[in-house]
Amino acid sequence: MSDHQDLKNPRPAVSRRGFVQGAGAVTGAVALMEEEAQAQAAGKVMGPAAMAITLTVNGKPLKVTVEPRETLLDTLRHKLEHTGAKRVCDRGTCGACTVIVNNKVSYACTMLAVDAVGKKIQTIESLTANGKTHPIVPAFHNNDAQQCGYCTPGFVMAAKGFLDRNPNPTYEQVKDGLGGNLCRCGTYVGVRQAVLEAAKKLKA
């Protein structure tokens, strides 16, 4: 049930998913490291077999084995226990999978994991890490900015990426800046107010 964990403890010590993945992970680790060094040399054809790559997620290098066809979103969710980003449309339209890649908001469902190698990936798990909570998180609570909550992590990351680039936004700018995220419950007004509140808190 790791989809519904407490945000403050995004990585439980043991989960069913983690246990299943852990089995067999040790075997061949050395061989995979060698393969990884080769795979990242420019111009070389990799795959279609699974290969070892390293993704830099929230500042930490994480080793993972992926096939070329795996998206960053599926890799984060199914193999790296970062289930904050959600898989909804899976076609780069709804924004529920939004993460920040090299300081730019991006759809994790529409990026291959192999394409994310060497890039800085920031997920929603980072917003409550190390006992520090980013002001956008309480601002969502204070402004009733979610109903069913499924789009919320994507909106929060889109808002975070927007505020990083626009510290003094107007309501209209917030509306445009969150144009890549959809909410079927229609919480847009609350979300925009939350972003304005967080902008004030960040300046204080």
Q: Which residues bind other proteins (CB under 8 A)?
A: 40, 42-48, 67-69, 71, 90-93, 95, 98, 104-107, 109-112, 114-115, 158, 161-162, 175-180, 182
CB 52 within 8 Å of CB 33: yes
Nearer to other proteins, 10 or 177 (CB): 177
Instruction: Show the tokens assigned to 4.
Output: 């519904």
- Smallest gap from residue 92 Cβ to other proteins (A): 5
Measured in whole angstroms, the distance separating CA 24 from the mean position of its chain's CA atoms is 26
Q: Are strands 51-57 and 104-107 parallel, antiparallel or unpaired?
A: unpaired
CA 176, 180, 185: angle at the middle one, nearest 5? Answer: 95
For 54, phi and psi rounded to 5 degrees? -120, 125
For other proteins, the closer of residues 110 and 142 by Cβ is 110
Compute the least distance from the CB of residue 153 to other proteins, in Å: 14
Instruction: Give the nearer residue to other proteins in terms of CB position, either 102 or 133.
Output: 102
Nearer to other proteins, 15 or 56 (CB): 56
Burial class (CB in 10 A: 0-12, 13-18, 19+), 142: middle
Q: Nearest approach, Cβ of 36 to other proteins (angstroms)?
A: 13
Q: Smallest distance, Å, CB 114 to other proteins?
A: 5
